[in-house]
Structure 1
Amino acid sequence: MSEDRAAEFVETDGLAVVRLNRPALTRQVKEELLAAVRQASESTTARAVLFLGTDKAFCVGQDLAEHARIQQEEPDQALSTVREHYNRIVLALEGIQVPLVVGIGGACVGAGLGFALAGDVRVAARRAKFGTAFTGIGLASDSALAYRLVRSLGQARAMELMLMATVFGADRAQELGLVTEVVDDGDWEARAREVAVQLASGPTSAFVAAKREVRSAASGEADLPELLEEEAELQNQLGATADHVGAVKAFLNKERPAFTGR
């Protein structure tokens, strides 16, 4: 990938990679990131998606210098970016049905934390720093940050992080469950890619169904009978896949299954 672009998309052998090359979100960066995430979401061949930043930072949220300029020149438009960019990026991330792995090499705050929490697996460098940030500049939050914090941590802990806006490290993030794995600083990208490659070689239809089940359960909108019916429907569909049939045969033959995503 080339750092000439603020955000990029590339797909190879079933693994789609979105890379954010500039951690501060200017209009250009947001537009390029939205385009890249949409490509990942709309891919019909990707079996996993890897979302990366740089060694310095995953994403630090809005570029405040640009924001201040827009406040001076176009005050009525200063926060139109929430609907125009942030909401659309979040919805595109949510639209990724295959496993989404996020690699975090450095600062991950504000909207960046909201984006990262859209991932299914998050691998962070030990030096990475996290924070909600918004109240520190007199705002609430966007990028679905409150939504994801409440579902990850519960109301009380989410409220604490939102109100206090304290910066915390990767080990604390892992204790809270906001990070799946913490690795040495030089290993974060390689490890995130390793996890993504592993998932891309797995039973894709089962992963998609598992994400659907978890999202349904987390939403709280379905009762137990509805969730059980969804499980039954999905299991019926998965039972007819080549991956399931092949995996059962491999198990009986004491072999390792080879998944094709079909």
Structure 2
Amino acid sequence: MSPSLQAESNPPLSPLPPVAWEAVIPAGTHWSGIVRRGLALRIVDLEGGANLSAVFHRQEDPLERYNMADTLKAQHTAHLTRGHVLYTDMGRVIASITSDTLGWHDALGGVGDARLFADKYGKSSYQADRNAMIRNGRDSLALELAKYGLSARDLTANVNFFSKVALGDDGSLEFITGHSRPGSAFDLRFEMNTLAAFSTAPHPLDPHPVYAPKPVKLIAYRAYAAGGTVPADDPCRRACPENERGFVNTDRLFA
């Protein structure tokens, strides 16, 4: 990220343009959908303490997907915030974080599976607990991908929005509690036609001993015309030379 962007504090979010659609992902559940190029999602932590695990695949060719390693390496960062983009494994930009009130989203912590959640929170089932059953993030994301002909083997490293995980000098990961407050939000602009899958299950490193997921709201709006592109002076595009190349690669795909 450019020095100017690093030095700035996170400004308030801009007023929303006309809203295309809205959806609330209830606590401990999951959601997926196709988000078209040029659309953006304002994603809001309704109650505070949310975790939103996410994976992204290019709609037309799901083998192209969000790549955590390339995303962090290209932008010389270990977390995500305003001005950062999400790269695919083809060197293209699938989405950009254009606004952010938090300043830190986790890209390292991964997603919890059934065994981890059972050890941590105890066993649960729909027969016993109905909609209050415990759902883990990995199975939730796999269920959403299955709706589009994908499977658990298509799961790769995910993003955990609203969560902060600090990296120690010894390589240890520390989950920071109380990071996201009620109303915390960010804008995620999509640069490709994208299959987005989300889970609101707790972060796998969250030390809270009680299963207490939180709901998240999605607000979709048009960021630029369907046949358009990101302008040359866009802050995400000009954040670093790697991002400029990533946007050029993306624009060529849609030329």
- Greater helix content: 1
Higher normalized contact order (CA 8 Å, seq sep 6+, divided by chain length): 2
Q: How high is the TM-score relative to the length of structure 2? A: 0.26
Q: Which has the larger radius of gyration?
A: 1
